[in-house]
Amino acid sequence: MALSTDLLPDDRAGSMKSLKTSLRILLEFAGEQRDWGVMELAERCGLEKSRVSKVLDAFATYGLLVQDPDTRRYAVGAKFFAIGSRYLTHDQLCRAAIPVMRDLLNRTGHSVRLSVPDGDQALYVVGLEGALFADTGWRAGTSVPMSTSSAGRVLLAFMDSARAARLMAKPIKVLTDKTKRDKNAVQRLVAEVRVKGYATNRDETTLGLTVISVPIFDAQHGIAGALGLAFPSHLDLSAEEANLIGMLHQAARTISQRIGCDVYPFGGGQTISAPVNGVVAKTAIRNSAKLAQV
């Protein structure tokens, strides 16, 4: 249970407020901008310059940030990286996914991506680049809009319906002139993902890039993440698309099983009635009359 600062003694309430302010400043470095000046951050956060300067200096003292001696601007430090790297080292999903992603890269030659839900965004956490790598500007650690990206639409399709409805009500962030702006059209695409088990995105997040994403499910049959293949849009892979989707589903099934999901509802000759509110309702296996209840 969260502890309301209204119930804390003044000194504890003040300390908690200071901590939240410091973390708010630090989290600005998780965005796309490489470095920040003190005045820039003060204006962005609506804080006094002197306060921001003290916070940044403290983080630099402990190695979370570094300051360029010439520009006086701050950037992410090695200690910040060390903390973040523990996520890949210890997170169950990442540990299960990385070897499977490497195998998928070797078999397809295309870049492989793992994304997870992070608040209102799809967070791109692991990327293995293929031979046809194109520098799109998207890096591991980048947050991608849910309604705009293929990974985000996969996550929306299988998350709790109330949460999905709240996220879908938000304005669509337009990233390119190909980004779909009509909410009804995006809702239809998300509904299709529940039936097909995959989402395809061409040029909507980055011009010249196509991404196909499929779901990964956890031990409770809830959505754990999205696995994607990325390749240049100029490639005509229409004849290979079904095969690529099949390999994606195979890989996602392996990852899902490694993190405890006993039934993966897509690919492998299976048809399904889609997961609702994180629960796979029924899985029908082709050429079998048996329905598996999970």
Whether residue 186 sits in one domain with residue 52? no
Residue where a domain terminates, one of 77, 109, 127: 77
Whether residue 189 sits in one domain with residue 57? no
Is residue 43 a part of any domain in this protein? yes
- 231 φ/ψ sector (left φ>0, alpha ψ -120 to 50, else beta): beta
Residue where a domain terminates, one of 77, 110, 131: 77
Domain of residue 212, CATH code? 3.30.450.40
Domain of residue 54, CATH code? 1.10.10.10
Whether residue 214 sits in one domain with residue 107? yes
Contacts of 102 (CB under 8 A, 6+ apart): 112, 128
Of 231, 146, 246, 249, the residue nearest 190 (C-alpha): 146
Query: Could you read off the pLDDT tens digit of each residue along the chain, which spans 294 residues?
Result: 344 444 445 556 668 888 999 999 998 988 778 899 999 999 999 999 999 999 999 999 999 999 999 999 999 999 988 888 888 888 999 999 999 999 999 999 999 999 999 888 899 899 888 876 656 556 677 888 889 999 999 999 999 999 999 999 998 888 889 989 899 999 999 999 999 999 999 988 888 889 999 999 999 999 999 999 998 888 777 778 889 999 999 999 999 999 999 999 998 644 444 444 443 433 333 322 222 222
Whether residue 236 sits in one domain with residue 102? yes
Check: pTM over 0.85? Answer yes or no: no
Contacts of 99 (CB under 8 A, 6+ apart): none
Q: Structure tokens of 182?
A: 């009509």
Residue where a domain terminates, one of 77, 111, 134: 77
Whether residue 170 sits in one domain with residue 101? yes
Q: Write out the residue range of the structural domain in which residue 29 sits.
A: 5-77
Whether residue 156 sits in one domain with residue 37? no
SS (H, E, C) the chain: CCCCHHHCCHHHHHHHHHHHHHHHHHHHHHCCCCEECHHHHHHHHCCCHHHHHHHHHHHHHCCCEEECCCCCCEEECHHHHHHHHHHHHHCHHHHHHHHHHHHHHHHHCCEEEEEEEECCEEEEEEEECCCCCCCCCCCCCEEEECCCCHHHHHHHHHCCHHHHHHHHCCCCCCCCCCCCCCHHHHHHHHHHHHHHCCEEEECCCCCCEEEEEEEEECCCCCEEEEEEEEEECCCCCCCCHHHHHHHHHHHHHHHHHHCCCCCCCCCCCEEEECCECCECCEEEECCCCCEECC
Whether residue 107 sits in one domain with residue 28? no
φ, ψ of residue 104 in degrees (nearest 5):
-65, -40
Whether residue 113 sits in one domain with residue 42? no
Is residue 145 a part of any domain in this protein? yes
Is residue 83 a part of any domain in this protein? no
Across the beta sheet with 65-67, the strand order is 35-36, 74-76, 65-67
Give CA–CA dist 215/223, Å, rounded.
7
Is residue 252 a part of any domain in this protein? yes
Is residue 193 a part of any domain in this protein? yes
Whether residue 63 sits in one domain with residue 139? no
Is residue 63 a part of any domain in this protein? yes
Count the domains in the chain.
2
Is residue 270 a part of any domain in this protein? no
Is residue 290 a part of any domain in this protein? no
What confidence score (pLDDT) does residue 138 get? Answer: 61
Give CA–CA dist 123/79, Å, rounded.
21
Whether residue 101 sits in one domain with residue 50? no
Whether residue 220 sits in one domain with residue 158? yes
Whether residue 185 sits in one domain with residue 68? no
Give me the residues paired with residue 279 across strands. 276
What is the residue type of 67? Q
Sign of the CA dihedral with 82 first, then 100, 249, and 293 last: negative
